Each structure stands twice: as structure tokens, then as C-alpha cells.
Amino acid sequence: MKLRFAMGLPEAWRLLRVSLRPSRMTAMAVASCFICFLIIAFNYVNIEFSKEQHFPAVLFYTRIAKGMFFYQLILWVVAIPVYASGALSQEFSQGTWVFQKTTPQPASKLLLGKLLGAGGDMYVASFAGIPFLAFSVLKCGMPIVDVFIVFSIFICLSILLSCFCFFLILSIFSENKQYGNSWIAFAVLIPLILIYSSIPVFNGEYGRNFCSITFLSPVFVIFTKLYPELCPLNKICFYSTKFPLIPFALLFYIGLAFAFFKAAAARMKRLASETTSCWPTAVLMIVFNLFFVGFLMNSPSCENCWLNVDQDDGVFYTLTFANLVFIYLAMSQHTRSIAEIRPWLYKFDSQRNKTAFFFRDDAPMFFTIILLLLVFIATSVVFHAVYSVRVSTLDSLLFISGFLLLALRDALFFQGAGLILKKSALQRAAIVYLLLFIAPTILFFKMRDVGVGRERQNFFGFIDLTPLTAFAALDSSFTGFPASYILVNGLLTALFGIVNFRLMSRAKAGISAISAKIND
């Protein structure tokens, strides 16, 4: 393989050198042809044994073409991301990472190399299957342009899932594994999106109202090409304007892949000793807001939008809730153990009158949260000004201040848990959090549905502690409640803050004392 190509991406060169050896390529091509043959044989046998006497040849070839497309889908959307992420995780599990870490290659180049080079075997398999696909497509009369469209979806999805896996692996295999695990929760979102967006397919007319969001589901977008009868809609509404579904979906996938790629590269850099700041998270949050506002904006010209939002305040709540999820995810990502905060503390101490940079990734988490909250408030203000949301200013201020208070409270809680519980801080914090906040929230809504006034009243003590109290505050049936929740949570935030401050200095001093004991 030419060294000219390798100069740009040595990592891709290394991986392709192994996978594109003649013996290996031959084996992959033969295996791929065998699978294609099985697909044809399966369809042939299926038709032979079917009760229909006159089975049109076009239908037979259509079935084979769909089978070939699904084979290619598995290669591109499943196998290549698995190979790419495997190439990265093996660096950690095998112990070769130390060599990569000490080369001057930028993290982005290394990741891009793995992205392009790791799937060498699968490229061969895919290429070997193309004659079978081409033959069946030509025979069934499917437009060739559709083949290119489906392949472009495959490639975009392959990149998206590979980048997502990179990000996940680099979060889990970080120097401090405990906070990396938190992203497993984020991984759950992907199947949720897949499941959620598949619902419209199986819900007939009702489901068609949701067709625009289904572009979030990779499977569904492919279905719109292969099974157009399931979802005839091929437009989505964004900022009150209709856009064609597939180009929009592809741009969305690539944009998301880029975000994951950048985040993965940033995490990789941190492992390799460079420091990063949390500013990119803030930028991502702004993009995230602008993106979702676009979907939430309704207009009479846009039917079958994602959410059928009748009132502007609904947009406001949805946006706020989406931000809440974003901030809490960022919070879990930025949870640090004392071992990681320590360098920041040393710098803070050594500079005396100056301050170590608050928004660096090794700074205590609540500074990051303050930054994100400021971003949230700023975007909310712009949103109010531009779209003249009908929610009263007082309500909005109350809502946002409650939100700020709750996020800060929980940031301090997570930080404190990290300082006390050392090794499995986040996991333990998550359990406490679940018991203390989430469970009462679920119970609250259950009780509210039942509508038993007394039980609901008795439950208020717990409700004050849940992150969703901000929403409850705006419910007109809870007169006088906002004051109580601001008071209770204000006191809690202050208490967590004081405890945290004490823990931080004690943890530093304590660890130094232990270290001194061990070393002297």
C-alpha cells in the first residue's frame, strides 16, 4: 500500500495492511459470496414452497434485492462500527495504548485512521456482494439512484455509530473509570430512539403524525426507501419550513457523528496529557437548543410535525426539559474524583491570589454547571425575545431560577458523593439519586393521576427534593408551592455547598496526610 496515503493516516495504513493481505481478502470474498448465495437460495426455496402458483419474477428479484440490502446494512451499520470500536478498545485491553499515547499524532488523526481502516475486511465483503446486489436491483427495476441513496445512508450511519462507539469507549476506558460508566446510560438512548421511531411504522394513521421525527431512527430512514408504503411522508418540518427527509437525515447523522467524533478526540487528548475545557460542551448545548427549537416551531403550513405543539408555552417547557436532560448528562460526565480535581487544587493553591481556570475539565464540576446554566438562560432569553412566548415573565423567571437552583444542588450532591465514596462514587451517587429523587417523582405522578388529594399533600415533602419540582411549580393547582420549593432547595443547595467545600479541603489535606504517612 502506498506510503503517500499512509502519511496522512498512518493508523488506517496499519489496519488496512493487516486486513488487505491477499489470503485474508480471498477468504472474506469467498465467505461473502457464500452468504449472498444463501440469500438467493433462501428466497428461491421460499417461493418454490409457497402456495402461490404464479409468482412474478420481478417480485422474486425484489425480495433478493431487499435481502442483499439487509446484508449490506449489517456489514456497514453493524460490523464496521464493531470493528472500528474494537480497534480502539483493543488498544486499552491489549496494552498497546502506551505507544499510541506517546506519539505526536493528533487524537483526531488516530481516530479517523481507525474509522477508515478498521473495517478493511468488511469493505472486501461488501464489495464482493455488490455484483449480486446490482444484478437483483437491475432485474427488479429499482432505480439505480435509490441504490446510491441507500448506500449513502449506510455510510453515514456507519460513521455515526462508529463515532458514537469511540466516544463511549473513551469515556469508559478513561483514567478514572467511574465517571466513564455514566455514559452507559447515554448509550441507552440509542435503542430508545430506535424503538421509539419504529413505533409509527406499526401504528398506521396515528403513527404517520410522527413521521418527521422518525428520521432520528436509522432503520426507519432506510425503510422509507425499501418499504415506502409504511411511511409515505418524505418531508420534515424545521423552523416552519419543509425539508426533504433523507438529505436532512444524512446531514443530521453526519453532524451528530462530528459532535461525537470531536468529543471522543477531546477525551482521547485528555488521556494523552493535554487538557481540555468544558466550552465545547457549552457550544454543543447552544447547537442542541437551536436544533430542537427548529422542530418545535409549528406552523399551519407544516402538517405532521414531530410534536403537535398547540401553545407556545409547550415549546418553552419542552425546551427546558430537553436542557434539563442535557445538563444532567453533562453533570454526570463532569463528575470528578478527588484524584482528578487534585491537580486543579494544587494550581489553585500555588497561585494564591489568582485562580486556577474554573472552566477547565479538571476543575470542580459545579463551575461547568454554572457555565451550562448561563448558556441555557441566554438561549431562553433569545428564544423569548424572538418568538414572543406567551408564558409570563414572572413564571419564566421562577421556572428558570428553580431550574438553576436544582441543577446546582444536584451538581454539589454529585460532587460531594464523589469526594466521599471515592472508587465507585458515581454508581453509588446514582443509586442514592434514584432513591431520593427519581422514585418520588414517579410516585408523585402516579398519585397525581389517582387524584387522591390527601396522599398527594402528604407527598409534598419528597416532591421538594425531586428535579422535576420546577415543573410542579408552574402548575396552578399548587398555590404557594414555589416559595416552599425555592426555600427548601435553596437551603439544600447551601448545605450541599458548605459540605462540599469542607469535603474538598479535607479530602485534599486528608489524602496528603495519608500519602505522607505511607511515604515517610
Partner 1 sequence: MRCAIKTEKLRKEYDSVVALKSLDMEIPEGETYGLIGPNGAGKSTLLKLLATAIKPDFGFALVEDANIETQPIEARKKVGFMPDFYALYEQVVAEDFLTYFALAYGVSRESIPGLVDKLLADVKLTEKRKANISELSRGMRQRLVFAKTLIHDPPVLLLDEPLSGLDPKARAEMIEILRELRKTGKTVVISSHILSELSALCTSIGIIEKGEMKIAGTIDEVRQAARGSGKVEIELISNAAPAANIISGFEFAEMRAVVGNTIVFDLQGDRSGIALINEALVQSGFGVVSISDERLNLEDIYFKVSSHEVQ
Which residues of this chain interact with partner 1, rule CB under 8 A? 3-4, 6-7, 10-11, 13-14, 17-18, 94-96, 98-99, 101-105, 175, 272-275, 339, 342-343, 346-347, 350, 422, 511, 514-516, 518-520
Residue 363's contacts (CB-CB under 8 Å, 6 or more residues apart) are 341, 344, 356, 357
Q: Which residue, 449 or 520, has its beta carbon nearer to partner 1?
A: 520
User: Min. distance of Cβ 236 from partner 1 in angstroms?
Assistant: 43
Number of CB atoms found within 10 A of residue 505's CB: 11
384 or 422, CB closer to partner 1?
A: 422
Q: Which is nearer to partner 1, 452 or 514 (CB)?
A: 514
Pick from 472, 503, 502: nearest CA to 485: 472
Q: 290 or 514, CB closer to partner 1?
A: 514
Q: Shortest approach of partner 1 to residue 515 CB, angstroms?
A: 4
Rg of the chain taking only CA atoms, in angstroms: 27
Q: How far is the CB of 51 from partner 1 (least distance, A)?
A: 51
Q: How far is the CB of 102 from partner 1 (least distance, A)?
A: 5
Q: Please say whether the beta carbons of 494 and 411 come within 8 A.
A: no
CB of 458 vs partner 1, minimal distance in Å:
44
Q: Which is nearer to partner 1, 177 or 446 (CB)?
A: 177
Min separation Cβ 516 and partner 1, Å: 8
Torsion of CA 356, 357, 361, 366, to 10 degrees: 90
CB neighbour burial string for 34-48, b if at least 16 within 10 angstroms, e if fewer? ebbeebbeebeeeee
Q: Which residues pair with 283 in a beta bridge?
A: none
- The secondary structure of residue 187, as a DSSP letter, is H
Q: What's the rounded Cα separation, in Å, for the pair 124 and 122?
A: 5
State in angstroms the smallest separation of the CB of 413 from partner 1.
Answer: 22
Taking phi over 0 as left and psi of -120 to 50 as alpha, with beta for the rest, 238 belongs to beta
Chain position carrying cell 396552578: 476
478: cell is: 399548587
Of 104 and 204, the one with the shorter C-beta distance to partner 1 is: 104
Q: Which is nearer to partner 1, 124 or 222 (CB)?
A: 124
